[in-house]
Copies of this chain bind each other. A is one copy, B any other.
Amino acid sequence: MSLNKYSQSSSSSSSSDSIRDKKVFAKLKLSGDYPRKNAELLSAQYGINVLLVGVALMLAIAQQKASVEEKDLLSFTTSLMILQLIWMIWYILVRRSQGKTRTERDVNATTCWIRGGLTLLAVLSLIMDALKIGYYVGYRLCLSEVYVVYPVTHVVHTIAQVHFLWFHIKDVIKSFETFERFGVMHAVFTNLILWCNGVMSETEHFMNNHIRQTSGVEFQNITTEEPALQCNCTTTTCALFSRSFTYLFPFNIEYHIFVSALLFVMWKNIGRTIDISSNRKSLVTKTQGLTLGPILGLLALVSTIGILVVYITRLPGPLEVHLSAVSMFYIYGIVLLVVMCSAGALGLLIYRANHMPLDASKNPSRQLDTELLFGSALGSWFMSWCSIVSVLSSKSDPPYRWTNLIYSLLIILEKYIQNLFIIESLYRQQESLEKADPELPTNPEVFSVTSSLPPLNGIDNQAYESPGEGSSSMENEQEENGQVYGSQRKQSNVPLPVDIHAAEPLNMKRLVLKNIAVFLLLCNISLWILPAFGCRPQYDNGLEEATFGFSRWTTVLNFAIPLSLFYRMHSVASLFEVFRRV
């Protein structure tokens, strides 16, 4: 009807346009105000620009004798955090005032254990902040106040954000949509800037260590790299503080990037209308028959920690010891990666033997998982190809030359296979749907731990604010990025004749898949630990540095290693999901 109206109104002469326009406009106002596509673009462009300001500031600080100082960047991030705090308080108050009319929630948005893990990371970040405040107290005479305002704001920000994660991250926002889009986008990019900031501090710290080691002045005073060079610490614990908080950097970094991914899913959910279905399913994590996977995985984890300790202690030694440490790392890496590749390939073979259509329902969280796995693999793929180019073209011939080549090829292959395995696992339809247990409580907070399940359980609360608004959102939903659920849904809603004992005996294939998932999970933790705590042979082997030059190669690494670390952490989260699903 309204479409007809358009073609008529535009075909008439322009003089009568305005009156008709007003009528159409008033009519449309009821069903949807600002076009969704535009509102998304507006807020996305805002967010990207905030991030770019932050990155430009960081780039300026990295310059020696910079006209921009670190405190400028800290003031900028502090004000962003305060703005986010104000928005979160506003949001929570508005929700409270709405009272009984509960908002819709997307149960796929996150899971209990992800939120639990984030809370743990947040606690470690809080300890880091406490150490930073303690460090400031020691140097308070010569440090700007920004250095204490920043950690204090960060403490408040972290606590508020964890609260927000627990109680609001699954909300599907339906009111003040355009404004809320800005709020959520601001939160996403504030966390991304905090991530970048963390990465920069961590890299700076690592590079200082590295340069100190290679230049042989190993046991220098720890405070020389700090800004308060001409300053004396007024307490006895400054060195201890600054040494301690650097160990907490990796956790703080992972915390921020994970939170921004969750908030991004929340942003994608704004204005979504999800099909209502009362099906509820609880995945009770089965652990029977799990032996080989966990055992091999723990073995990998323990030997990784051994390798890390040996590597770090032997690296600063004489040249021969140094070379042997690097060789040892590559040989260990090759063994681990060969086993991981085989495990992943076995999993894919099992899937090929057991053909199953992929689940095609909408799930922004799962789609983001896929994109992040793919995107963050880029970092280490690029690093590996650089290594391969430099090994093949190098004129020098260190003992680890060919092991480095094999290691790099395996890194590429392993991520290739692992991505295929994880993504196919997340997209396959559940093989056997567990029996619907009538005794299960309906509280979504306890059992909505199913972040990548098909949307049989799409939504857990269905109090629409207004029917009119609902229908307009459905229309918006059918945009380029949105999906139409109807036809897909019909298939899912057909009650399946599920055998009561379906889920009980884990069949052989599922058992193998579960073992593979656990093994890969523990291996990915191992491969996160190594670079996160300083085992980065790419800096130490000298081959790539000779091919690409020191500054270019460090630039590549400073970009690739954080991505690679994120890839490992993200794989761990995804593999845990896979483990629960198969």
Contact = CB atoms under 8 A, between A and B. Distances in A.
Interface stretch (A127-135, A218-226, A377-385): A377-385
B507 A13 contact: yes
B28 A355 contact: yes
A4 B497 contact: yes
Given A7-B499, A8-B499, A429-B3, A360 B24 contact: no
Interface in A1-55: 2-4, 6-8, 10-11, 13-14, 17, 21, 24-25, 28-29, 32, 35-38, 41-42, 44-45, 48-49, 52-53, 55
A358 interface: yes
B549 A63 contact: yes
The count of identical subunits is 2
Nearest to A357: B475
Interface stretch (A107-115, A196-204, A241-249, A485-493): A485-493
B491 A431 contact: no
Interface in A403-425: 412, 416, 419-420, 423-424
A502 B11 contact: yes
Contacts of A357: 2, 28, 32, 35, 475
A354 interface: yes
Given A35-B424, A53-B385, A60-B393, A360 B67 contact: no
A50 B25 CA distance: 51
B360 A482 contact: yes
A560 to B, nearest CB: 11
The interface centre, meaning the residue of A10, A390, A498, A509 with most chain B CB atoms within 10 A of its CB, is A10
The interface centre, meaning the residue of A36, A49, A481 with most chain B CB atoms within 10 A of its CB, is A49
A68 interface: yes
A233 to B, nearest CB: 30
A197 to B, nearest CB: 15
Contacts of A381: 48-49, 52
A484 interface: yes
Contacts of A354: 21, 25
Contacts of A497: 4, 7-8
Contact of A59 (B24, B63, B386): B386
A483 interface: yes
A149 interface: no
Contacts of A49: 381, 385, 412, 416
